[in-house]
Structure 1
Amino acid sequence: MATEDYERGLALRKEVLGADYVERSFANADDFSRPMQQLSTEYCWGRIWCREGLSRRDRSLLNIGMISALNRPHELKLHVKAALTNGLSRDEIREALLQVAIYCGVPAGLDSTRIAREAFAEVDQAAE
């Protein structure tokens, strides 16, 4: 049963990540993975991302740093694209990744920069 947090999170998730991506995530979910999709939609997006304490832009900047530090390339690519949607510039994303390199290690910064470039290329290709 969908909660208010779930519905609010689903709307925001589609706005930030793109409706196609979110709908594909649910369409590809099976009985095993569907609860994770529901959990992240309700709690991550509906309860945390919808809070007023930080802007979407600030949340995106934090996510880029944390996801880079955690070495989660798939999620990083997704959140780099989301950061552009949420108002971060490519220069600001680069600066965040330089910060990652200093505090988390150059390999993390290099890998994250490569992933960000891939995300930018995909965004540019979709815009053509």
Structure 2
Amino acid sequence: MDVDRYEQGVRIRREVHGDEVVDAIHDATDAFSQPMQDLLNEYCWGTVWSRTGLDRRSRSILNIGMLAALNQPDALAGHMRSALNNGVSWTEIRECLLQVAVYVGMPAALAAFEVARKVRAETDALG
């Protein structure tokens, strides 16, 4: 394991998702799932998210489209929240999902719009 890359990944993950989310994931991690979290921290966050070719906002937009297309509602909800932290607006999230409707299909987009509706209600309630 590249310790510097791992630590950079944890830092970026915290900046994107927030301490509360990362702490909850850490608390739910057991010996069986720890290697997956290590992989995420080192490679996903430390190697890819640290690259300079795309800014975090662009990576968030890309993730929304991919997760909607893959019908991954839990991950999509989390990345929608993170996208808001990265400067993506609800208008831009809606436009991403309309793009999904055209290129992936209506069922995927409808499901993603439902996720967005719930996340928006949660975030609006928080103020």
TM-score normalised to structure 1 length: 0.95
Q: Which runs of 5 or more residues in structure 1 are unaligned?
A: none
Match of 2:88 in 1: 88
Tell me the CA shift for residue 2 of structure 1.
6.4
Match of 1:74 in 2: 74
User: Aligned residues, how many?
Assistant: 127
Structure 2 counterpart of 1:54, which letter?
L
RMSD value, Cα: 1.1
Match of 1:48 in 2: 48
Q: Distance in 2 between matches of 1:51 and 1:43?
A: 11
Structure 1 counterpart of 2:22, which letter?
V
Matched, 1:115 2:115: yes
TM-score normalised to structure 2 length: 0.95
Match of 2:19 in 1: 19
Structure 1 counterpart of 2:117, which letter?
R
Residue deviations 1:19-60 (CA, integer Å, cap 9, x gap): 011011111111111111111111101100010000100000
Residue deviations 1:46-79 (CA, integer Å, cap 9, x gap): 1000100001000001000011111111000000
Percent of pairs identical after alignment?
A: 50
Q: Which runs of 5 or more residues in structure 2 are unaligned?
A: none
